């Protein structure tokens, strides 16, 4: 149980284009999902918290107009990198919070990540 998928696993795009990354909780409903960015050999950096049916909460320094997050259903959150530039190249990971009452506490389950390369 508690499987999270992420698509695509890797994407290469040209500078100036937009890229959408999907994060799905496959066997549970997730009212809260998270989007992280990870630089090589570094820890996870939280970008935003995504709550179903409401606007995402962005961390300080993250451009909300550049990184659009939509959490339209209890099993799907999307991250769109708009007008991508080479400096946006990174590894993006989503996670979903375990549902209350499942015994998972505040556990987050992670997708496999998306490697974005902007040329």
Find out whether 111 and 7 touch, Cβ atoms under 8 Å.
Answer: no
Among 27, 72, 107, 119, binds other proteins (CB under 8 A): 107
Q: Is residue 110 a contact point for other proteins (CB under 8 A)?
A: yes
Shortest Å distance, C-beta 3 to other proteins: 11
Shortest Å distance, C-beta 118 to other proteins: 19
Find out whether 82 and 15 touch, Cβ atoms under 8 Å.
Answer: no
Q: Which among 89, 93, 87 has a CA at the least distance from the CA of 116?
A: 89
Q: How far apart are CA 49 and CA 57, in angstroms?
A: 5
Binding mask 52-81 for other proteins (x = CB under 8 A): ------------------------------
Provide the sign of the torsion angle of the four alpha carbons 2, 45, 9, 21, taken in this order. Answer: positive
Shortest Å distance, C-beta 97 to other proteins: 5
- Cα dist from 14 to 82, 87, 111, whole Å: 12, 12, 25
Q: Which of residues 14-53 bind other proteins (CB under 8 A)?
A: 32, 34, 38, 42-44, 46, 49
Which residues contact other proteins (rule: CB under 8 A)?
A: 32, 34, 38, 42-44, 46, 49, 91, 93, 95, 97, 105-110, 112-113
């Amino acid at each position: 149980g508690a499987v999270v998928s992420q698509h695509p696993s890797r994407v290469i795009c040209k500078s100036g284009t937009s890229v959408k990354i999907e994060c799905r909780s496959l066997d549970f409903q997730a009212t809260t999902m998270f989007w992280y960015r990870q630089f090589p050999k570094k820890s996870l950096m939280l970008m935003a918290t995504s709550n179903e049916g409401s606007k995402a909460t962005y961390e300080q320094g993250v451009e909300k107009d550049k990184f659009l997050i939509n959490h339209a259903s209890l099993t799907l959150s999307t991250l769109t990198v708009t007008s991508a530039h080479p400096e946006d190249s990174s590894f993006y990971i989503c996670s979903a919070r375990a549902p209350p009452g499942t015994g998972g506490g505040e556990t987050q389950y992670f997708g496999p990540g998306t490697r974005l390369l902007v040329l």
